[in-house]
Amino acid sequence: MEPFDYLSPSSIEEAVKTLASKGDQARIMAGGTDMLVQMRAGRRTAPLVVDIKEIPDLNVVSYDATNGLTLGAAVPCYKIYQDETLSAAYPGLMDAASLIGGIQIQGRATIGGNICNAAPSGDSIPVVIALGGVCNIAGPNGTRQLPVEEMCTAPGRNALADGEILVSVSIPAPQAKSGASYLRFIPRNEMDIAVVGVGSSVQLDASGQNFVSARISLASVAPTPVFAKEAGDSLAGKPVNEETIQAASELAQAAAKPISDMRGTIRQRTHLVGVLTRRTLNIAIERARGG
């Protein structure tokens, strides 16, 4: 790796001050599982690496049934799925947190880092979008919030301005009769990059027979994760049945703009978006009904 300076600030203020003064000369590191690989390969350079893992606010995991979850940007995946309360409240998020890389990677990799790394294939991003996640950002001009679906702007690029830092992601509290799910297709059993990933969340009515609302998001089918808003919206007020789910999956396919590459063709990926949208909706429905 090219030489760089290393700083491990202990507060958001210190991090923001450093990042603002260094501009694009500084890069934020959370788990490092993407960034160190990119730097070693020469795909990214950074005269200064700012390690955010020692900042207390970025290690927060706070949940209650009213305010939902605030997940610090430096919290590694294993801390999420080892938490029994969170596992029960957000099984869809656990789907993603427990399949990113192997156990070694999950000991370091963070959801915040996954979002900021802005890979089209980021495994945690679709389900966080489906769950209505919001990024809490701090910067030289104070704090702001941004929906997760607006965070990734291009492959490897995010919406953070110079001096800004992702502090945490907020996810609303799960409502009664709600559920979510994430699935990806890979040719291996573990440790691979999604050919296609789909995250879905649903809110059903009290009978569990009708959709109140739904959100669907896709990975690896466009330069950024895709929020397939029309696909989810098409389910609002509709009965839960094969036809409505099929129609939503076709709208999700229409929202996908995949390319053909070494991992899959346009045709295969479009097909997979349909299959995985239906499967994730069905799992989300099952979870929403409490089964």
Partner 1 sequence: MAGVTQVQTTLNGEVINFLCEPRQSLLECLRDVLGMTGTKEGCNDGNCGACTVIMDGRIVDSCLVLGVEAEGKDITTIEGMATPEGLHPLQQSFLENAALQCGICTPGFLLASKGLLDQEPDADEGRIRHWLAGNLCRCTGYDKIVRAVLQVSKAK
CB 205, min distance to partner 1, A: 37
Residues 48-67 that bind partner 1 (CB under 8 A): 49, 51, 53
Binding mask 6-35 for partner 1 (x = CB under 8 A): xxx----------------------xxx--
Identity of the residue, 20 or 48, whose beta carbon is nearer to partner 1 in the bound complex: 48
Residues 182, 281: Cα–Cα separation, whole Å = 9
List of residues 6+ apart from 260 with CB closer than 8 A: 266
Residues 81-110 that bind partner 1 (CB under 8 A): 101-105, 107-108
CB 151, min distance to partner 1, A: 23
Contact 111, 80 (CB under 8 A): yes
User: Does 3 participate in binding partner 1 (rule CB under 8 A)?
Assistant: yes
Residues 143, 140: Cα–Cα separation, whole Å = 8
Identity of the residue, 146 or 193, whose beta carbon is nearer to partner 1 in the bound complex: 193
Segment contacting partner 1 by CB under 8 A, of 122-130, 185-193, 234-242, 261-269: 185-193
Identity of the residue, 38 or 282, whose beta carbon is nearer to partner 1 in the bound complex: 38
Identity of the residue, 142 or 187, whose beta carbon is nearer to partner 1 in the bound complex: 187
Q: Among 161, 163, 149, which Cα is nearest to 22's?
A: 163
User: Does 191 participate in binding partner 1 (rule CB under 8 A)?
Assistant: yes
H-assigned helices in the chain:
12-22, 35-40, 77-81, 84-89, 91-97, 103-106, 111-117, 125-130, 229-233, 242-255, 266-288
Residues 238-277 that bind partner 1 (CB under 8 A): none
Q: How far is CA 219 from the centre of its chain?
A: 9
C-alpha R_g of the chain: 19
Tokens for 52, please give them: 């955010």
User: Does 189 participate in binding partner 1 (rule CB under 8 A)?
Assistant: yes
Contact 181, 200 (CB under 8 A): yes
Contact 277, 249 (CB under 8 A): yes
CB 99, min distance to partner 1, A: 10
User: Does 4 participate in binding partner 1 (rule CB under 8 A)?
Assistant: yes
Size of the site for partner 1 (CB under 8 A): 30
User: Does 37 participate in binding partner 1 (rule CB under 8 A)?
Assistant: yes
Residues 48, 219: Cα–Cα separation, whole Å = 31
List interacting residues with partner 1 (CB under 8 A). 1-8, 31-33, 36-37, 40-41, 49, 51, 53, 76, 78, 101-105, 107-108, 189-191
